[in-house]
């Protein structure tokens, strides 16, 4: 996946590598996908969240990250968020003809989560998982916020996710990722009414 590709009019996709002294990431994203995924970050619960994100968003995602997990999970989780956000930003191109914003309310058994996304060209985030334990599976739970911060930076997007209520910490994180995927799916969708117009009065996103 070393060759970089950008969006095509028919199928919006991006493929690139992002390498630092802390992580080496290879990513290929197709927005008009079928929920197919190949994900390997070295953190199994995080992989699971990215897999269900891909399925619920109906994207296709190949992502491999070789990070310094012997130091901490932080670099891996944050950098994957940045790379994934950048992949969406590249794949969407100039963002003409998209809905731009989307939100979704997602139940998972006893848990309810909400997500809202605006592909505004400005990075901002707010995350409230309501998770108070250090670990869920093998994932350091405080890093969920770092993932969404990284995504917002990479995608140049407003990202707001919140657990409304719930009991299971696993369900809280999973419901957030599912809600986020479906909100992003809406935001990326083509707007038949606007056609190729830019969804902004500024003339640039």
The CATH number linked to 150 is: 3.30.230.40
Number of residues that this document lists for the chain? 205
Q: What is the pLDDT of residues 71-99, one digit of tens each?
A: 999 999 999 999 999 999 999 999 999 99
Any domain includes 81: yes
Any domain includes 199: no
Question: Position of tokens 């944050």?
Answer: 78
What confidence score (pLDDT) does residue 201 get?
64
What confidence score (pLDDT) does residue 196 get?
80
**Number of independent structural domains in the chain:** 1
Any domain includes 5: no
Domain with 128 in it: 13-188
Q: What is the pLDDT of residues 151-179, one digit of tens each?
A: 999 999 999 999 999 999 999 999 999 99
- Other C-beta atoms lying within 10 Å of the C-beta of residue 142: 14
Q: What residues contact residue 21 under an 8 Å CB cut-off, 6+ apart?
A: none
CA distance linking residue 111 with residue 171, whole number of Å: 6
For the whole model, what pTM was predicted? 0.93
pLDDT surpasses 80 at 7: no
For the purposes of burial, counting CB atoms within 10 Å of the CB of 92, is it exposed (0-12), middle (13-18) or buried (19 or more)? buried
Q: What residues contact residue 26 under an 8 Å CB cut-off, 6+ apart?
A: 1, 2, 16, 17, 62, 63, 64
Any domain includes 7: no
Token reading at 196: 């190729």
């Amino acid at each position: 996946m070393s060759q970089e590709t950008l969006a095509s009019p028919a199928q919006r996709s991006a493929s690139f590598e992002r390498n630092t002294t802390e992580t080496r990431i290879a990513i290929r994203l197709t927005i008009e996908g079928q929920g197919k995924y190949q994900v390997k970050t070295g953190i199994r619960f995080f992989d699971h969240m990215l897999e269900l994100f891909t399925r619920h968003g109906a994207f296709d995602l190949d992502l491999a990250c070789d990070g310094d997990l012997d130091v901490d999970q932080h670099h891996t989780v944050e950098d994957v968020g940045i790379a994934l956000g950048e992949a969406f930003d590249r794949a969407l191109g100039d963002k003409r003809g998209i809905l731009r914003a989307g939100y979704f309310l997602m139940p998972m058994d006893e848990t309810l989560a909400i997500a809202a996304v605006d592909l505004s060209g400005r990075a901002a985030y707010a995350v409230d998982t309501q998770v108070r334990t250090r670990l869920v599976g093998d994932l350091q739970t405080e890093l969920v916020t770092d993932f969404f911060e990284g995504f917002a930076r990479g995608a140049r997007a407003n990202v707001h996710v919140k657990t409304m209520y719930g009991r299971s910490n696993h369900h809280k994180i999973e419901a957030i990722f599912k809600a986020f995927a479906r909100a992003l799916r809406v935001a990326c969708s083509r707007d038949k009414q606007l056609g190729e117009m830019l969804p902004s009065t500024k003339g640039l996103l």
